[in-house]
Amino acid sequence: MTNILHLYIQMDIYKYMEVIGFDWDKGNWPKSGKHGVSKAEIEAVFRNIPAIQPDPFLDEERLRAIGRSDEDRYIFAVFVLRTTDAGNLIRPVSARYMHEKEIVSYERQKET
């Protein structure tokens, strides 16, 4: 059985999207893992209802996810959404652990 993720993306308006899984391969995993974040941690961020916003760089339609792993580590991830015949997939591009200043800012924004 496929676990469907429900993403709410903050664009001009909130956009809802169902995602059926992740798109991992030798092209994106080395970049995503180079900062020590595991695949399991990156996937957990999306299961744990992250804050999602557009990435300001316009070379590709990328999104940013900010949230926590199952181990309560704060993670910043950049990803793209891929549509396949089977459904939508998250393709992580990069991920890293957040710095203390970013965590404080993230927690403040969640309170408002």
Which tens digits make up the pLDDT trace of 16-52? 778 888 999 888 888 888 899 999 999 999 988 888 8
pTM of full prediction above 0.85 = no
1 pLDDT above the threshold of 50 = no
State mean pLDDT over 83-101: 92
- pLDDT the model gives residue 41: 95
CA neighbor of 46 nearest in space, from 81, 86, 84, 6: 6
- pLDDT the model gives residue 7: 67
Residue-number span of the structural domain to which 68 is assigned:
5-111
State mean pLDDT over 44-64: 84
Pairing relationship of beta strands 14-19 and 74-83 according to DSSP bridges: unpaired
If one counts the domains in the chain, the total is: 1
